[in-house]
């Protein structure tokens, strides 16, 4: 089963026109398409998991085989749970595109930057603000 994380790397990056404004209509449309395609891939993988779990739901007689199967199922379900949370972030990003908040840092209000948005289309903080947030978390300061 293909990993969803490879999707972002394989999706074509946006090439801005000369003097194009940050988060122009074209850029927003690019990220909207990218996010929708990513979401669809995650939904397809979830459906594939359901199909796989139904098809392989017979319990093996051997206790070792049964334990292996249960561990594989648990791993798949944990992965899907993480992807469910990612879908929620994608939906939030799609709403931010509509409201004009997409691509801007939630703390500083600065542009997150095209390169970071390409690498992590659900980013809500600049690299610097994310770094500061992680330092505060390590120190127990929220």
pLDDT value of position 52 = 65
How far is it, in rounded angstroms, from Cα 59 to Cα 128?
50
**Average pLDDT over the chain, rounded to whole?**
86
pLDDT digits (tens, 9 = 90+) for 112-122: 999 999 999 99
pLDDT value of position 75 = 82
Task: With 0.85 as the threshold, say if the pTM is over it.
Answer: no
pLDDT value of position 141 = 78
What structural domains does the chain harbor?
22-102 (1.20.120.910), 104-142 (no CATH)
Confidence of residue 5 (pLDDT cuts 50, 70, 90): very low
Q: Which of 7, 3, 85, 80 is nearest to 49 (CA)?
A: 80
pLDDT digits (tens, 9 = 90+) for 50-93: 676 666 666 667 777 777 777 877 887 788 888 899 999 999 99
Confidence of residue 8 (pLDDT cuts 50, 70, 90): low
CA atoms within 13 A on the CB side of 13: 12
Q: Which residue has the higher pLDDT, 58 or 46?
A: 46
Are 4 and 42 spatial neighbours (Cβ–Cβ below 8 Å)?
yes
């Amino acid at each position: 089963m293909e990993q969803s994380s490879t999707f972002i790397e394989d999706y074509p990056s946006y090439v801005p026109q000369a003097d194009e404004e940050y988060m122009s209509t074209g850029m927003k449309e690019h990220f909207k398409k990218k996010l929708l395609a990513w979401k669809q891939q995650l939904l397809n993988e979830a459906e594939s998991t359901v199909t796989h779990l139904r098809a392989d739901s017979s319990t093996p007689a051997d206790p070792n085989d049964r334990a292996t199967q249960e561990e594989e199922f648990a791993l798949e379900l944990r992965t899907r749970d993480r992807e469910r949370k990612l879908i929620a972030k994608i939906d939030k990003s799609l709403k931010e595109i509509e409201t004009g908040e997409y691509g801007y840092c939630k703390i500083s209000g600065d542009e997150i930057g095209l390169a970071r948005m390409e690498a992590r289309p659900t980013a809500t903080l600049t690299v610097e603000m994310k770094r500061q947030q992680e330092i505060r978390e390590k120190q127990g300061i929220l």
